[in-house]
């Protein structure tokens, strides 16, 4: 990553003893002056409020903590305030935009707790043109360890509004996002996406979740959302050693749904790249011995139907090599899949099953210019995994394997702790760091919700934490409804890359009747542009792709690393149009998708170079396509277009359009 422009200024105010509301001393504005964040330190507590262009967005909302022993860290005297500004443009290792501008004004308020142990706490506030973040910092002080029971942090909206959110019932974040009144948010995961009156869109989340539990949200009344921290089994939220900084509590503020998607504030609130040479962190597409097993053809465990056998894996490698797909994922290759899953501490990450000849397979793959993507299913038995971490990654590195999918299928880690607790967060970080030591990239399934760590650790390429394609193979409810994928960019997608694994070309499933992929084939293609991940799976089988070569061409062509991303048109949960420029060519790509309603849209091509003409290769729903009755009907056409054109799009029910624009 490269810093391009840096402007930094710092000013410290004279000692002040209070921060009563309304004083200019306690207000920090965005660089464009539109967003204003005001602190109000009263005898009754510390509050913040936010306005955007004079519209009140956040009403006075409480800040603070409760420590062990019911010690409330909520009333403060202000010792000092420090202001600074920052303007830097940095380059992502990979991502949705090559350049990211990090431009904010910061206010740091240094405070001392009134009562209790007179703890020192700083509140750091950064206000950007697209939102704000704040975090609590406990500087080094007499008391070096704190036991946090609860955060008092609130996001109290200035007006009632509806929010898209997922309940915390599914620890893997594999549930639906529903729109509810704030009061009905009965403990939900973030991101929480608010449709605020007056055409404002807000997204509440966090950035840089390090050694701390995940924040959830509880609706208290029709405007107030309170933070909840996912506790340890002891009931404690976090064990903290000073000096310590919490994750940033963030709100993106946009005028359109697309503004949420193209905000990079979360990345800006994470640390710069911690990997000295990140050249191994390369985006890629992959196929895998995977979907067939989810459909019930082949097993992960050893036996007559074992999927990960040398001959079968070589067939996948051949197909990948023939089609320019760099990676082949193989699951079920190592000892440990049989037995008692709830207490599965017997996965061995260096012992293949007898019919999986890892040397023969990786040599064969290397000859063909393909790489094996490894798999570590841990069954969430993290102690077993941590005991093997370095040997497991070294074993893969010795075989030239530098991309590993990890998995944590079990409701609790080690039979007792939540994935999203401080225990889980610590574990995931250990894995990222161990993988980096062995130059391995991670595709983490059953993760803690992402918070932008990929800026510091670009080897954390992608994560699940989404109700992905696999639910369309076997879920008792039949599969994800058409609206699901047009909600994802504005909810889960705001937390970072998603390993959703689309690209299915077969829509019937004889093994689990009633389940199906609820899109058209053209929409499956469009999702490669709409749903971002630097590792994108083509999840169907070689046989199904070979049966549809014209459509498969788009999957072969579509990039996984982008120069620039725009969202020209969207209604959350109804439809979305996303365009992205390839980072490695002058081509642009468009993905448009709709929910269960057929739709006609018009897209201005003003994102294209005004001095050029382009060949548009258009993969569209056929006139009679429909996700339910005729999903595979699509057309591929070509036409010449330029930036002044307006392109009509016709999306079938549950359908989509994918376009490659090739500069002439
Ligand atoms: C759940 C993961 O999401 C899926 O991709 C994987 O195949 C299974 N666990 C087995 O590890």
Has residue 237 got a pLDDT over 60? yes
| 349, 359 contact by CB (below 8 A) | no
Cα–Cα distance, 463 to 468 (Å, whole number): 11
Q: What are the residue numbers of the active site?
A: 470
User: Which distant-in-sequence residues (6+ apart) come within 8 Å of 348 by Cβ?
Assistant: 334, 335, 336, 388
Atom of ligand 1 nearest to the CA of 446: 3
pLDDT tens column, 425-459: 999 999 999 999 999 999 999 999 999 999 999 99
For residues 174 and 484, what is the distance between their CA atoms, to the nearest angstrom? 11
- Give the mean model confidence (pLDDT) for residues 611-616: 98
Residue 24: pLDDT band with limits 50, 70, 90: low
Q: Verify whether ligand 1 is closer than 6 Å to residue 445 (CB atom).
A: yes
Cα atoms in the 13 Å half-sphere on the side-chain side of 395: 16
H or E, element range at 250: strand 248-254
* Average pLDDT taken over every residue of the chain: 95
CB neighbours of 303 closer than 8 A, spacing ≥ 6?
none
pLDDT digits (tens, 9 = 90+) for 309-338: 999 999 999 999 999 999 999 999 999 999
The residue among 660, 650, 526, 531 whose CA lies nearest residue 593 is 526
**Tens digit of pLDDT for each residue in 525-542?**
999 999 999 999 999 999
- 533 C-alpha to ligand 1 centroid (Å): 17
Q: Taking residues 260-270, what's their average pLDDT?
A: 98
Q: Write down the pLDDT at residue 508.
A: 79
First CA to last CA across the chain, in angstroms?
A: 31
Of the listed ranges 138-142, 209-213, 352-356, the one predicted with least confidence: 138-142
Residue whose structure tokens are 């996948």: 316
Residue nearest to atom 11 of ligand 1 (CA): 377
Q: Is the CB of 499 under 6 A from ligand 1?
A: no
- Report pLDDT digits (tens) over 470-529: 999 999 889 999 999 999 999 999 999 999 999 999 887 878 888 999 999 999 999 999
Which of these, 92, 96, 107, lies nearest to 28 by C-alpha position?
A: 107
Specify the 3-state DSSP secondary structure of 597.
Answer: coil
Q: How far is the CA of 594 from the centre of ligand 1 (A)?
A: 27
540 lines ligand 1 (CB under 6 A): no
CA of 554 to the centre of ligand 1 (A): 26
Question: How many Å apart are CA 467 and CA 407, to the nearest integer?
Answer: 15
Give the lowest-confidence range in 2-11, 234-243, 492-501, 538-547. 2-11
Ligand 1 atom nearest the C-alpha of 445 is 3
Pocket test for ligand 1, best of 405, 409, 533 (most atoms within 8 A of CB): 409
Does 447 contact ligand 1 (Cβ within 6 A)?
A: no
Q: Is the CB of 582 under 6 A from ligand 1?
A: no
Q: What is the structure's pLDDT at 507?
A: 87
On whether the CB atoms of residues 128 and 116 are closer than 8 A, the answer is no
pTM: 0.96
Distance 21 CA to ligand 1 centre (A): 51
Question: Of the candidates 559, 561, 481, which has an alpha carbon nearest to the alpha carbon of residue 523?
Answer: 481
Write down the residue that tokens 């009563």 correspond to: 20
pLDDT at res. 569: 98
CA of 337 to the centre of ligand 1 (A): 12
Give, in degrees to the nearest 5, the angle at Cα 89 between 85 and 91.
Answer: 145
Check if the beta carbon of residue 579 is closer than 8 Å to that of residue 627. Answer: no
Ligand 1 within 6 A of 407 CB? yes
Pocket probe mutation, ligand 1, options 377, 446, 475, max atoms within 8 Å of Cβ: 377
What is the percent of the chain with per-residue pLDDT over 70, rounded to a whole number?
96
Ligand 1, atom 3, residue with closest C-alpha:
445
470 lines ligand 1 (CB under 6 A): yes
Write down the number of H helices and E strands in the chain. Answer: 12, 37
pLDDT reported for residue 23: 56
Task: Count Cβ atoms below 10 Å from residue 188 Cβ, excluding itself.
Answer: 26
Q: Sign (positive/negative) of CA torsion 488, 490, 496, 497?
A: positive
Q: How far does residue 407's CA lie from ligand 1's centre (Å)?
A: 6
Pocket flag, ligand 1, residue 341 (CB < 6 Å)? no
- What pLDDT shows up at residue 607? 98
Residue 409 Cβ inside 6 Å of ligand 1? The answer reads yes
445 alpha carbon to ligand 1 midpoint, in Å?
7
- Read off the pLDDT band of 21 (50, 70, 90): very low
* Residue 300 Cα: closest atom of ligand 1: 10
CA distance 558 to 579: 12
- CB of 464 closer than 6 A to ligand 1? yes
Rounded to whole angstroms, the Cα distance separating 217 from 595 reads 27
Find out whether the beta carbon of 219 lies less than 6 Å from any atom of ligand 1: no
**Does position 160 have pLDDT exceeding 50, yes or no?**
yes
Determine the Cα angle at 124 with ends 122 and 49, to 5°: 110
């Amino acid at each position: 990553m490269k810093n391009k422009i840096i402007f930094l200024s710092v000013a410290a105010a004279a000692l002040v003893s209070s921060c009563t509301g309304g004083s200019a001393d306690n207000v920090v504005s965005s660089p464009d002056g539109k967003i204003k964040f005001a602190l109000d330190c009263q005898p009754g507590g510390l509050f913040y409020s936010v306005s955007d262009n004079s519209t009140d967005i956040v009403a006075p909302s409480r800040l603070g903590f409760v420590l062990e022993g019911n010690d409330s860290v909520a009333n403060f005297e202000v010792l000092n305030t420090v202001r600074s500004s920052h303007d830097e443009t940095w380059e992502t290792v990979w991502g949705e935009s090559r350049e990211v501008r990090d431009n904010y004004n910061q206010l740091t308020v240094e405070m001392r707790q009134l009562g209790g142990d007179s703890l020192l706490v700083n509140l750091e506030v950064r206000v950007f043109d697209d939102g704000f973040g704040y975090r609590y910092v406990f500087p080094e002080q007499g008391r070096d360890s704190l036991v946090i029971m609860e955060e008092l942090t609130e996001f109290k909206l200035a007006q009632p509004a509806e929010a898209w959110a997922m309940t915390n019932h599914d620890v893997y974040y594999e549930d639906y996002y529903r729109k509810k009144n704030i009061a009905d948010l009965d403990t939900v995961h973030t991101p929480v996406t608010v449709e605020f009156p007056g055409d404002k869109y807000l997204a509440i989340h966090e950035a840089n979740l390090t050694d701390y539990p995940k924040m959830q949200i509880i609706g208290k009344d029709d405007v107030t959302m309170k933070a909840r921290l996912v506790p340890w089994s002891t009931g404690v939220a976090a064990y903290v050693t000073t000096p310590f900084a919490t994750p940033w509590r963030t709100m993106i503020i946009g005028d359109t749904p697309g503004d949420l998607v193209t905000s990079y504030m979360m990345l800006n609130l994470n640390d710069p790249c911690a990997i000295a040479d990140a050249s191994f962190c390369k985006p890629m597409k992959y196929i895998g011995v995977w979907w067939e097993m989810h459909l019930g053809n082949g097993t992960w465990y050893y036996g007559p139907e074992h999927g990960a056998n040398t001959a079968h894996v070589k067939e996948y490698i051949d197909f990948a090599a023939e089609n320019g797909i760099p990676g082949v994922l193989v699951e079920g290759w190592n000892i440990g899949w049989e037995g008692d899953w709830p207490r599965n501490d017997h996965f061995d990450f260096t012992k293949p099953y007898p019919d999986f000849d890892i040397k023969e397979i990786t040599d064969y793959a290397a000859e063909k210019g393909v790489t094996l993507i490894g798999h570590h299913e841990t069954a969430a038995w993290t102690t077993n995994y941590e005991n093997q971490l370095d040997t497991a990654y070294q074993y893969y590195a010795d075989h030239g394997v530098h991309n590993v999918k990890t998995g944590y299928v079990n409701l609790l880690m080690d039979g007792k702790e939540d994935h999203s607790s401080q225990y889980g967060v610590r574990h995931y970080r250990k894995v990222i760091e161990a993988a980096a030591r062995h130059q391995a990239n991670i595709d983490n399934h059953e993760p803690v919700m992402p918070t932008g760590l990929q800026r510091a650790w670009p080897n954390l390429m992608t994560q699940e934490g989404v109700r992905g394609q696999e639910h369309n193979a076997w879920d008792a409810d039949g599969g994800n409804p058409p609206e699901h994928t047009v909600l994802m960019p504005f909810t889960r997608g705001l937390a970072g890359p998603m390993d959703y694994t689309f690209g299915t070309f077969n829509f019937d499933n004889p093994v689990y009747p009633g389940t199906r992929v609820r899109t058209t084939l053209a929409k499956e293609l469009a999702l490669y542009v709409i749903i971002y991940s630097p590792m994108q799976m083509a999840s169907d089988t070689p046989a199904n792709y070979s049966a549809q070569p014209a459509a498969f061409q788009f999957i072969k062509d579509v990039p996984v690393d982008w120069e620039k991303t725009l969202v020209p048109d969207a209604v959350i949960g109804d439809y979305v149009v996303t365009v992205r420029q390839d980072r490695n060519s002058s081509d642009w790509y468009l993905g448009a998708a709709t929910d269960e309603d057929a739709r006609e849209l018009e897209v201005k091509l003003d994102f294209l170079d005004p001095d050029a003409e382009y060949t548009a290769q258009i993969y569209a729903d056929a006139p009679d396509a429909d996700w339910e009755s005729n999903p595979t009907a699509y057309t591929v056409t070509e036409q010449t277009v330029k930036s002044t054109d307006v392109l009509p799009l016709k999306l079938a029910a549950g359908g989509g359009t994918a376009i490659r624009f090739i500069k002439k």
